[in-house]
Structures are given as structure tokens and as C-alpha cells.
Structure 1
């Protein structure tokens, strides 16, 4: 049996193609994020909001329940919390996460 190799999608290429083909007017708003060497999952969420808007409440709620975060994104969120001296509730509102999730991450990634 061959081992399964997991690779990350090339988000930079995907979003550049979407912007070039369908939304060239949004390029200026996304330029800073797309200039990064590595696009984190947090950046993907932000790019989606910039390009496609917020969408409906039901869709946003459904998508929120199915998000997953890699370690780099979690560290970015926790660093944001430290930098801005926010408590778990404030961070959870800002990133639309459960405050219990933030608390669990703080225990796992001190």
C-alpha cells in the first residue's frame, strides 16, 4: 500500500487566478496578502471575504462550524491576542471563534 502524501493547495495561485479571471477590480485590496511568501489559512479566510463578501448568515454559520486551523494560523491568532492585550472573549469575537477554542489553544500552545 502506498503512503498518502498530504500537500497543501497552492492558495496563492488559486486566488491569483480567481482575481485575474473573475474579479480584477479586487486585485489592489488583495495585493498585500498575495505578496506574502506563505499564505496561511487565516489569510485564505480574509481573501474570501474580500473577493466574495460576507454572504448570508446561514452560510457563514455553516462554514464557521467546518473551519480547521493549522498550527501557524493558531499561533498568528494567539500572537494577535498578546500584541493587542485582548482577553479570550475579545479575540473570539474578532475572529468569530468560540472562546473555549481560544482557551484550549492557549493551553496547547503556551
Structure 2
């Protein structure tokens, strides 16, 4: 019997100011993952809608970060793939996400 493979966490940079500055790789990842964990789902939804990406969104911000980190890790352990995004730029430096 083989062990279940852990999922993948993608840290995805998003455009700062201009939605057209997003990379093709970021768009591909956002379209393929099981879940997008977003600092502000309203901001991320605009980006996804702009490029016709239908993705399940979860709010991941300063106020729910501890609980959501546990939930996201559990999903990763089940083999799901998750993209972590901030409102603009690369998450996990001064944005929610550094705990992951």
C-alpha cells in the first residue's frame, strides 16, 4: 500500500496596481488548484474574473490566520493543492501567510 502524497502549496505573486502584470504561470496555477487562499477575496475575485478563472476562494487574513493555517495544512495533508495570494505582490513577508 502506498502512502498518500501531500498536496502542494503555491505562493503566487499577484499584480501591484495593474491586473495585466500577472504572469502566465500565476494564471495557470490559479486555474488548476483546488483552492485559492486570499488575503481579500474581493480583490482576488476581480483578478480571477478578469481572466475567466473559476476557482474556489477562502479568506485568509490577519484575523483568521491561525485557524485557517490549521485548516489549510489539513487540506494539504489530504493531497489538495492550494494557491496562497495577497492583495498585491508576493504573500508571506508582511502579509498573512508567513505561518504557513
Q: TM-score, normalised by structure 2?
A: 0.25
Richer in helix (by share): 1
Query: Computing the radius of gyration over CA atoms, which structure comes out larger, 1 or 2?
Result: 1
